[in-house]
Structure 1
Amino acid sequence: MTPNAASASSGPSRRSFLASTAVATAAVAGGVPLLSACGGSDGGSRDGTTSGKDAKKILPAYVASNVVTPDIPAKNGSAIGFTSKLDLATLKTSVTKKLGKGGKVTVMSPFWGSPPKSGNAYYKAMNELIGVDVAWQNQDGNTYDQKLGAILASSDIPDVVVVPGWNMSGKIPTAIISKFADLGPYLSGDAVKDYPNLAAIPTDAWQRSIFGGKLRGLPMPAPWAPSIVPLYRKDIFDKEGYEIPKSCDEFMALAKEITNAKAKRWACLDMKWTAFQAFGVFSGSEKPLGWNMVDGKLVYRVETEQYLEALEWSRKLFEAGVVHPDSKMGKNAPDPGPKFAAGEFLIYAQNISQWWGRTAEQATQNPKFKIWGMDVWGHDGGNPTIYAEQPAGIFAFVNKKASESVIRDVLAVANVTAAPYGTKEYMMTNYGVEGTHYTVKDGVPAKTDQGNLEVMNAYVMVASPAATIAHPDFPEVAKGQVEWEQRMGAFTKKSTFWGMQITEPNRYTNLSNDFEQLEDDIVRGRKKISDMQQAVSDWKSKGGDKLRDWYKQILDENGSAAS
Structure 2
Amino acid sequence: MSSTMSRRGFLGLALAGATVAGLAACGGEGGAAGVRKGGAELSKKLTLPAYTAAKIPTPDLPIDAGQDPAYLKYPAELVKSVAAPPGDGKKITSLTQTWDVAPPAPGRNAYLQELSKALGSEWSMNIVVGDGYPDKFNAIIASDDLPDLVWFPPNQGLQRVPELLEAKFHDLTSHLSGDAIKKYPNLANLGDVTWKSAVTNGKLFGVAVAYSRFGQVFLVDQDYWAPVGGTSFTSADDFLDKAKQLLDVKKNKYPLEPSYYNHVHMFSHWYGAPNTWKLAGGKLTHQFETPEYQAALELAVKCFKANLFWPDPALATIKDKVANGQIGAYVESFPGFLNDAKTQKYNLGAIVPFAATPGSKPVYNAGLGSVGFTSISKKVPAERVETLLKVLDYLAAPFGTEEYQLVNFGIEGTHFTKKDGDLAFTDKGAAEVPTTQQPISFVIGSPSALFLPGQPERTKLIHDFETKVAPMLQERVTTGHFSDTYTQKNGELSTMGTDMVVDIVTGRKPLSDWPAFVKKWLGKGGEAMRAEYEASIAKG
Taking structure 2 as the reference length, what is the TM-score of the superposition? Answer: 0.87
Change (3 A) 1:553 1:372: same
Cα distance between partner residues in 2 of 1:116 and 1:243: 43
Partner of 1:248: 236
Shift of 1:8: 8.2
Mean CA deviation greater in 382-391 or 117-126: 382-391
User: Is the deviation greater in 374-383 or in 438-447?
Assistant: 438-447
Displacement, 1:221? 2.0
* 1:87-486 → structure 2 map (5 Å cutoff): 90-112=77-99, 113-119=101-107, 120-225=109-214, 227-238=215-226, 241-242=229-230, 244-269=232-257, 270=260, 271-283=263-275, 290-294=276-280, 296-326=282-312, 329=313, 332-363=314-345, 369-381=346-358, 382-455=360-433, 456=436, 457-486=438-467
- Counterpart for residue 516 of structure 1: 498
Letter in structure 2 aligned against 1:279: Y
Contact 2:414 2:426 in 1 (8 A): yes
Report the identity percentage.
29
- 8 A Cα contact 1:417 1:463, kept in partner: yes
Offset from partner CA, 1:486-526 (integer Å, 9 cap, x none): 32121122342134465536553423431101101211112
C-alpha deviations, 1:269-328, integer Å up to 9, x for none? 343221121122233xxxxxx2332455322221222222111111101112233323xx
Give the equivalent residue in structure 1 for 2:514.
Answer: 532
1:148, CA displacement in angstroms?
0.7
Query: How far apart, CA to CA, are the structure 2 residues paired with 1:158 and 1:311?
Result: 45
1:209 positional shift: 1.3
Does the Cα contact within 8 Å between 1:273 and 1:349 map onto a contact in 2? no
Q: Distance in 2 between matches of 1:133 and 1:356?
A: 31
Give the AA of the match of 2:170: A
C-alpha distance 476-498 of structure 1, shift in aligned 2 (>3 A): farther
What secondary structure is seen at the aligned counterpart in 2 of 1:340?
helix
Output the CA distance in 2 between the equivalents of 1:72 and 1:51.
Answer: 41
Q: Deviations over 1:11-58 (max 9, x none)?
A: xx6873244679xxxxxxxxxxxx9722447944457657875122xx
- Say if 1:388 and 1:500 are closer, same or farther in 2 by CA, change over 3 A: farther
Counterpart code for 1:375: V
Question: Larger deviation: 449-458 or 425-434?
Answer: 449-458
CA distance in 2, matches of 1:462, 1:355: 22
Alpha-carbon distance in 2 for matches of 1:243, 1:373: 8
The one-letter code of the counterpart of 1:65 is: A
3-state SS of paired residue (1:522): helix
2:23–2:494: 8 Å Cα contact kept in structure 1?
A: no
Aligned pair count? Answer: 518
Cα distance between partner residues in 2 of 1:149 and 1:429: 29
Task: Give the Cα–Cα distance (whole angstroms) in 2 for the partners of residues 204 and 362 of structure 1.
Answer: 30
State how far apart, in whole Å, the 2-side matches of 1:506 and 1:355 are: 30
Distance of aligned partners of 1:209 and 1:490 in 2 relative to their CA distance in 1, 3 Å threshold: same
TM-aligned CA distance change 1:184 to 1:357, over 3 Å: closer
Secondary structure, aligned partner of 1:162: strand
Which residue pairs with 1:555 in the alignment?
537
The CA deviation at 1:428 is 0.6
What TM-score results when the alignment is normalised by the length of structure 1?
0.84
Counterpart-to-counterpart distance in 1, 2:406 and 2:487: 42
State the alpha-carbon separation in 2 of the partners of residues 47 and 104 from structure 1: 37
Deviates more, 1:66-75 or 1:38-47: 38-47
**Deviations 1:374-432 (CA, angstroms, capped at 9, x unpaired):** 21112115540333321212311101242234212211211211111112111110111
Q: Secondary structure at the match of 1:132?
A: coil
Shift of 1:538: 1.7
RMSD of the alignment, in Å?
A: 2.9
Unaligned runs of 5+ in 2: 26-30
Which runs of structure 1 show a deviation greater than 6 angstroms over 4 or more consecutive aligned residues? 6-9
Please state how far the C-alpha of 1:372 moved relative to its aligned partner. Answer: 0.7
* Structure 1 letter corresponding to 2:45: D
